[in-house]
Amino acid sequence: MIWQPVSGCSGACRTGGDDAVGGGTALVRLVTLCAVLVMGLLVVPVLRGAAAPAVARGVLAALGVRLRRTGPLPRPGTLLVANHVSWLDIVALLAVTPVKLVAKCEVRAWPGIGALAAALGAIFVDRSRPRSLPVTVAAVAAQLRAGRSVAVFPEGTTFCGASRGRFRPAMFQAAIDAGAAVLPVSITYDSTAAAFVGDDLLWSSVRRIAGLRGLTVTLVGAPALRPALGADRRVLAGTAQSFLNLGFSAAGERSLDRDTGLGARPGCLNVLTVNFQALCRRDAAH
């Protein structure tokens, strides 16, 4: 039995019509990307997480991808939860802050990127063994207790960005068990060409992105949620996703850097929505 989240997105979600660079420029980008990955494989085993942001920024630069970030940075020992559009999401998060990644075990086999993820201590999920999920949750909780931030994509698969999947609650239990903050992060691209969906292959996606004249990825962080001991992971997951769905880009532009407490009350989703609106009013007043 394989636990496989299903996305309704496909190659048809990529609208096309993007400006393209010449074949020579695309080739140079691909060669540069290979060089960055090789350098990363040499440096990361020595410097570990400290080298990750530099290598990730090198990957983005090699492909001509611009990165924008607004909102708070995670404190050590934070669980980052983000929507999932592309393999580039991983690179963008690593470029902003050192984090350990939770990834499907298939990522380990990806050329270059898989080896780098393993060297950085990624926590791989075997979706063919659903019973191993509690072990993975425990491993994430242990990293959070040790003060290491962990990034996870709770949708479980990629969506085109125009549509999103439901945040699955399992990994949120790790934050509750560890008493760690949860930082929702919205990831958006200014072109649908970035979407890694349907039967898309990694190499095809890399070549497509290398051929774009310009691509910008934007990360917007919401205020951190702090779950109380015994909080309901389903409510926590729903609240984190609601913060993204409520259009937190506006709050991110104002760089709201506040923590929001999350208890185990049945109605805490509504309470948090009210608190969010109040935070925005207070921020606008300053």
Please say whether the beta carbons of 233 and 176 come within 8 A: yes
Residue 208 pLDDT level (bands cut at 50, 70, 90): very high
- Where are the extended beta strands (E) located within the chain? 65-70, 79-82, 100-104, 123-125, 150-152, 182-189, 215-221, 224-227, 259-262
Say how far apart CA 91 and CA 104 lie, in whole Å.
15
Write out pLDDT tens, residues 48-79: 667 788 889 999 999 999 999 988 888 999 99
- Smallest CA-to-CA distance from 175 within 130, 220, 137 is with 137
Look over the chain and give the mean of its residue pLDDT values, rounded to a whole number. 80
Q: Which residue has the higher pLDDT, 110 or 143?
A: 143
> Which of 25-39, 77-91, 128-142, 165-179 shows the lowest mean pLDDT across its residues?
128-142
How many CA atoms within 13 Å lie on the side-chain side of 128? 2
Instruction: Give the pLDDT band (50/70/90) at residue 138.
Output: very high
pLDDT in tens, 247-265: 544 433 333 333 444 443 3
Predicted pLDDT of residue 49: 64
In the prediction, which pLDDT does 103 show? 82
* Separation CA 285–CA 264 (nearest Å): 31
pLDDT at 286: 39
pLDDT band at residue 178 using 50, 70 and 90 as cut-offs: very high
pLDDT tens digits, 89-116: 999 999 998 888 888 777 777 777 777 7
Give the HSE-up count for residue 98: Cα atoms under 13 Å, Cβ half-sphere. 17
At residue 253, the pLDDT reads 39
Q: Are strands 259-262 and 150-152 parallel, antiparallel or unpaired?
A: unpaired
Tell me the pLDDT band of 119, cut-offs 50, 70 and 90. Answer: confident
Is a pLDDT exceeding 90 seen at residue 82? yes
